[in-house]
Amino acid sequence: MKLKEAARTVNWAYIGLFYAIVLLGTYLVRKLPNVLQLILKQVTDIPFTFNYNHGILVALTALLFYKTSHFKPSISLLGNNKFKALLFPIILLAAYTTMGISNSNGVDKHSWAFLFCSFAIIYNIMEEYAWRGYLVEALGQLPYVIKSILSGILWAFWHLFIFKDFDQYGGFGIFLVFCIVFSFLLTFAVNRTKSILVAASLHAFIIQMNITALICFLIFLVLLLTWGNKKRVNEI
């Protein structure tokens, strides 16, 4: 299918409405108390910094748009190979738990790594359900490259409603490029595996940029390239 023909099949108005709701909703829920922290305070004094508010918002918005769209979802939590999909979070948790993550909360570094990665995976499932789930599927028959660039751009600008600044990335411009490049990997992963869990695990492996992240990335890359899906992948 030619690019113009593929573009005509996309419901751009619906995607625009989805993105508008996501941006406005994120702006509003970020002003509310951190739901996760309110819950965790009932069971622990450890100050977890995760904020699930916007993750829940984008996941619920994606679910709503999936339900009201005129296409049948092909992407699910575990995708087209449940066993291999489960290997991704298992490998991530095993690698980081073994190496450990230092913290200032007085928690054993191995236990902290397990908890931190677990919270990250849960959050990333919500986020990837929206950006590499609904959005990628809503872009229909557009080429893989176009899907990756568009989803990366929209994903990056959404973070303007989440981060106070982008100094840790060297500015928003660098962050934008990072999101687009990373989106190529995440979009390839969901097209190959049809699994949100795989994308969420890939999203989480960069918790720290160290040897552990490199090991996870190399193993994940081998799993993706040897996925063994009988059907020919048509995204590239």
First to last CA, the chain: 13
Angle at alpha carbon of residue 192, lines to 174 and 20, rounded to 5°: 50
User: Does the residue 134 lie in any domain?
Assistant: yes
User: From residue 119, how far is each of 22, 69, 89, 176 by CA, in Å?
Assistant: 22, 30, 12, 24
Looking at residue 120, its pLDDT comes to 95
Looking at residue 113, its pLDDT comes to 95
Looking at residue 228, its pLDDT comes to 75
Which two tokens mark 148?
């990756």
User: Does the residue 231 lie in any domain?
Assistant: no
User: Does the residue 147 lie in any domain?
Assistant: yes
User: Does the residue 232 lie in any domain?
Assistant: no
What's phi and psi for 47, nearest 5 deg?
-80, 80
String of DSSP letters for 120-161 = HHHHHHHHHIIIIIIIHHHTTT--HHHHHHHHHHHHHHHGGG
User: Does the residue 233 lie in any domain?
Assistant: no
Looking at residue 1, its pLDDT comes to 67
Three-state secondary structure call for residue 76: strand
Looking at residue 106, its pLDDT comes to 87
Residue with tokens 């929209």: 154
Per-residue pLDDT of the chain (236 residues; tens, 9 = 90+): 688 899 999 999 999 999 999 999 999 999 999 999 999 989 888 877 899 999 999 999 999 999 999 888 999 999 999 999 999 999 999 999 999 999 888 899 999 999 999 999 999 999 999 999 999 999 999 999 999 999 999 999 999 999 999 999 999 999 999 999 999 999 999 999 999 999 999 999 988 888 999 999 999 999 999 997 554 444 44
> What residue numbers bound the domain in which 116 lies?
3-225
Identify residue 181 by its one-letter amino acid code: V
Is 53 buried (19+), middle (13-18) or exposed (0-12) by CB count in 10 A? buried
Task: Select from 224, 205, 178, 15 the least CA-distant residue to 94.
Answer: 205
Number of compact structural domains in the chain: 1
User: Does the residue 236 lie in any domain?
Assistant: no
User: Does the residue 7 lie in any domain?
Assistant: yes
